[in-house]
Amino acid sequence: MPEAAAQPAQLLPTVSIVEQTMRKARRSVAMALAGAAVMTTALLAERLWSSTALERAADRYAVAFKLAGDVRLADQQVKTAAQMAVVTADRTWVERYDKQLEELSQTIEHASLLAPPSVANRYRTKTSTASAELAALQQAALQALAAGSPDTARAIFDGERYTHHTQLLREATEELTAASLSATDNEVRVLRARSFAITLTMLVLMLGVGLALWRHLSRGLDRSRGSLLDAEERIQRLAASDLLTGLDNRAALHDAMHTAMSRAKRHGDELAVLMVDLDRFKPVNDRHGHMVGDLVLKEVARRLARCLRQTDLRARYGGDEFVVVVEEREGPGTARASAERIVDRLSQPMQFGDLVVSIGASVGIARFPSDASNDDDLLRKADSALYRAKQSGRGGVCLYDAQLDDALAERDALEQALRKGIAAGELVPFYQPIVDLARRNVRSLELLSRWRHPTRGLLSPDQFIGLAEDRGLIGPLTMSLLNQACKDLPRFPPHWRLSINVAPQQIQDESLVPQLLEILVHHGVAPSRVDVELTETALVSDTSRARDVILMLKKAGMTVTLDDFGTGYSSLSYLAEMTFDKIKIDRSFVRTLHERPQSAKIVAAVVGLSRSLGVETVAEGVESEEDARKLLDLGCNLAQGYLFGRPLPADEVRLLGYRNEPTAYFPAEAI
């Protein structure tokens, strides 16, 4: 049954942790500043109030102190005026006495206002009788003076009653003024004590609030620090993880391999590196899109986790390649068993909704320390073993072999030489004729390649074309050959056409047709003189893209041939969906025309199909006249092969021999 691939939701923070931390810090600082502002305002307000209250209390104390002196002075002035009035019997002193007495009463009244109410009331109670008696005695004395009896008046002022009441009034006045001074002094002291207490309380409150704010800020900073540490850990985890699959990435893989290798060396153990490459992943990715491709990669990561031990290291190496590091404590068979489980598990279908896809995997294995002593060499040698597994067929498991490593090194060296050779023009065009079977004249030349290697001599395509396709060099190679062929075309009859091969990888290049046209226009070659050959493999890899390329080629004026028909998928839907101008019958059917009746039937069927579609057929690999006559009898109208000529460089193509219209082909032995 297909394994369903759950899609875990990725929880991403809506606000960055740094922004959250900054917000918390700003809130804490704002609270601290607000608290400090409130406390400072309260302290300033208290100091202002205390200062104003103290100033007022001090003013009242000064007034009380002055009034005390004024009372004493007024009392002395009243006494003096009374005595002078008695002694002199002068009316002026009597009037002054009255005036001084009124001033004394007013001054005492002012002083009583500053005294505590109880003291003022007591003063009034104690002095009311004495004041009345003194007023009566003074009035009697003044009347005596008015009647001309100064002795009587003097006797009144010197009498015991007058002295007693005067002393009583003086004592009460002294008590009142003293109470006023004491009250105002006490008020000042109380205000000062209160101000000190309030100030001290405010300072204590400020200290407490400050400590509370500091604790809050400290806790906020601790939380922020924790958040930042979590963020740092998450960043490190993300930096060491593949974002799509959650597995370790290359950087983390190397670090983990260093640790594992050190541990294995310390304990005398072995470990193995498994390089896992997915089979048939690219067609899935191309056919269903990158979204499905991503789901496949995630499911591969989950299946690796389920079929391996928890201690086995798993990493995505890049693209559709994965690396597994297995510690072989149980023996050398652990790695191979793990590799076989991986191949088995990844070969099972994957289901995503209604879509079911099937891939597979190939695995290469290299061991530490027997194969390599460092991580880079281990990975390289595991990749070398993987290359051999892929070459052996899909779903293979191969161990590293030193001879394979030498072959891979030689292949890498050949790749570098090929890159330089393409740039230096060492890749040269060879041409093989395609002839009309009935008239035996040359219709076109197929453009083939040879490599004039500086040390190995002339190399045939089977020695480098596969390498060029694998390493992405087939495009530059094709364009270089076409550029040289366009220079050779003027040497050939103008009605000879040029047939060029386009590899499946080139179909994915959007600039393919523009590049072809640019070269043709540069050399003044009409596009109608060029035929482009596509293999069935190119159609299978990306049918939609192949259809677009065919339409662009035909719109540009070129013709299109379906090459190697019958050896690939041979889907008739390709012929229905895409318009070809020729169909090439593969050489495998031509070579067995006489040995296998089925081959003749297949050729006849292809010819009949082509005729019904209105396209020509070209037979490859014709090497005998018997084959040529048989193909002609079956209805095939075009052919190429050694019978008509081997691939030759441009300056030797003339050995084919031709006359002007029609161009007749002469076998080599007739020349």
What pLDDT, in 10s, does the model give residues 242-265?
Answer: 888 989 988 889 999 999 999 989
- What's the pLDDT at 240? 63
Backbone angles phi, psi at 209, to 5 degrees: -65, -40
- What's the pLDDT at 3? 46
In sequence order, the 6+-apart residues with CB closer than 8 A to the CB of 316 are: 242, 244, 245, 247, 248, 249, 297, 301, 322, 323
Mean pLDDT of 543-566: 87
* Percentage of residues in the chain having pLDDT higher than 90: 36
- What's the pLDDT at 644? 92
In this structure, what token pair is assigned to residue 635? 């209805």
Do 277 and 397 touch, CB atoms closer than 8 A?
no
* pLDDT greater at residue 159 or residue 573: 159
User: Of 191-205, 303-317, 384-398, 618-632, where does mean pLDDT reach its minimum?
Assistant: 191-205
User: Is the sign of the CA dihedral 484, 486, 492, 496 positive or negative?
Assistant: positive
Mean pLDDT of 102-107: 72
- What's the pLDDT at 363? 96
Do 385 and 400 touch, CB atoms closer than 8 A?
yes
In this structure, what token pair is assigned to residue 107? 């001054």
Q: Which residues share a beta bridge with 4?
A: 351
User: Is the sign of the CA dihedral 215, 218, 224, 230 positive or negative?
Assistant: negative
* pLDDT greater at residue 440 or residue 178: 440
Q: Is the pLDDT of residue 664 over 70?
A: no
The count of other CB atoms within 10 Å of the CB of residue 364 is 26
* pLDDT greater at residue 12 or residue 186: 186
- What's the pLDDT at 573? 63
Highest mean pLDDT: which range of 70-79, 175-184, 448-457: 448-457
Q: Is the pLDDT of residue 659 over 50?
A: no
- What's the pLDDT at 11? 40
Pairing of strands 271-279, 360-368: antiparallel
Mean pLDDT score of the chain:
81
Q: Is the pLDDT of residue 115 over 50?
A: yes
Mean pLDDT of 643-653: 91
Backbone angles phi, psi at 527, to 5 degrees: -55, -30
Cα–Cα distance between 17 and 605 in angstroms, integer?
71
Residue type (1 letter), 6: A
* pLDDT greater at residue 69 or residue 612: 612
Q: Is the pLDDT of residue 5 over 50?
A: no
DSSP calls for 104-158: HHHHHHHHHHHS-HHHHHHHHHHHHHHHHHHHHHHHHHHHHHHTT-HHHHHHHHH
- What's the pLDDT at 4? 43
- What's the pLDDT at 117? 74
In a 3-state reduction of DSSP, which class is residue 482?
Answer: helix
- What's the pLDDT at 58? 66
Residue 150, Cβ density class (10 Å: 0-12 exposed, 13-18 middle, ≥19 buried)? middle
**Confidence at 653, pLDDT banded by 50, 70, 90:** confident
* Residue carrying the six token digits 């997915």: 278
Pairing of strands 397-399, 271-279: unpaired
Do 342 and 276 touch, CB atoms closer than 8 A?
yes
Measured in whole angstroms, the distance separating CA 462 from the mean position of its chain's CA atoms is 46
Q: Can you state the percent helix, strand and coil of the chain, rounding each to 5?
A: 65, 15, 20
Residue type (1 letter), 135: A
- What's the pLDDT at 8? 40
- What's the pLDDT at 143? 78
* pLDDT greater at residue 409 or residue 624: 624
User: Of 160-164, 165-169, 394-398, where does mean pLDDT reach its minimum?
Assistant: 165-169
Distances (CA, A) of 517 to 394, 486, 558, 587: 38, 12, 10, 30
- What's the pLDDT at 661? 39
pLDDT digits (tens, 9 = 90+) for 213-237: 777 767 766 776 666 666 666 665 6
In this structure, what token pair is assigned to residue 547? 């259809």
In sequence order, the 6+-apart residues with CB closer than 8 A to the CB of 286 are: 541, 542
* Percentage of residues in the chain having pLDDT higher than 70: 79
* pLDDT greater at residue 135 or residue 7: 135
Highest mean pLDDT: which range of 167-176, 383-392, 423-432: 423-432
Cα–Cα distance between 111 and 1 in angstroms, integer?
112
Rg of the Cα atoms in the chain: 59
In sequence order, the 6+-apart residues with CB closer than 8 A to the CB of 515 are: 475, 479, 509
Backbone angles phi, psi at 277, to 5 degrees: -120, 135
Q: Where are the beta strands (DSSP E) in 374-521?
A: 397-399, 427-436, 442-453, 457-459, 497-502
